[in-house]
A and B are shown apart, each in its own frame.
Chain A
Amino acid sequence: MTLKILGLIIFVELCEAASHVLFKQSVNAVDTSSLHNLTDYVRFLGTVLKQPAVWAGLLLFTGGILTWFVVLAHVELSRAFPFGSLQYLAIILASAVFLRERIDRRRLVGTLCIVLGILFVALN
């Protein structure tokens, strides 16, 4: 695996993580307290789709997928697999820092278990 491919893989993982943060930020910007039925949700989705951040997220997500095609043409899926764990770390960090989510110990330990588990799965 060349340094270029490694860079592309990390780029893909971070793109996807960033897009999720942007999606959540768009949702947080909208009032979600009165969503009771499907009509409420459809109206809510419409409001979310008016947020510029959601489109920025979709752009990043699409960019990530396209880059992923390039990556998969050069390395086997199984070799790119362990880097998936990077996204879990990026997401929990960004959730705490940018989204101000309260991460209790249970959630932190759970996320670390998943990261460890992915490494075990990927390296065997």
Chain B
Amino acid sequence: MPPRNRSLSLKVLSLILFWDLLTSVAELSFKAGASAAGMSDVTTANLLEFLIRVLSHVIPWIGIACYIASFLLWIAILSRADLSFAYPIGNVIDYVLVPVLSVIILHETIPLLRWVGIGCIVIGVYLISTSAAQSHDT
């Protein structure tokens, strides 16, 4: 089925990719913050201590700012697209961009079967992105 409103989909699509980038930056800064806290054994018991240590660094606050911005953007996206459209497209950077960048920048080698997986994901995103963004398009 062809998309009923291609220009709408394209606009929504670029917003979704930007959202994905924002959340990836947020996650990266959390990871950096978590390792800066230098606690190897986090349990439910010392979670609070861990959080206080993490939040005493500046980097995680960048992540929190990105998260707040990405939440507001996400709400705007959901006003224009189905969840079953936006969600799968908006969460692929981790699976596609990160491995591809690790090949280009870090010269890591990726096993063949993993390329097959990346290919599947790209095809999946293509299929979803060419379905109509909203089931209730007017």
Chain A interface residues (CB < 8 Å from chain B): 20-21, 23-24, 26-27, 30, 32-33, 35, 41, 44-45, 48, 54, 58, 65-66, 69-70, 72-73, 84, 87-88, 91-92, 94-96, 99, 101-104, 106-107, 109-124
Contacts and interface: CB of A to CB of B under 8 A. Distances in A.
Contact of B125 (A32, A45, A110, A120): A110
Contact of B75 (A45, A92, A115): A45
Given A107-B127, A113-B124, A27 B75 contact: yes
Interface residues of B, number: 52
B126 interface: yes
Majority SS at the chain B contact face: helix
Contact of A106 (B34, B78, B127): B127
Contacts of A48: 75
B114 A91 contact: no
Interface of B: 1, 30, 34, 39-44, 47, 50-51, 71-72, 74-76, 78-80, 82-85, 87-88, 91-92, 94-95, 99, 111, 113-114, 116-128, 130-132, 135, 138
Contact of A124 (B117, B124, B126, B135): B117
Given A111-B128, A113-B123, 12 more contacts: A32-B79, A35-B79, A70-B43, A70-B47, A104-B132, A107-B85, A113-B124, A114-B121, A117-B117, A120-B116, A120-B120, A124-B113
Contact of B84 (A65, A84, A103, A117): A103
A23 B78 contact: yes
Nearest to A100: B135
A124 B113 CA distance: 7
Most buried by A among B42, B43, B84: B84
Contacts of A115: 124
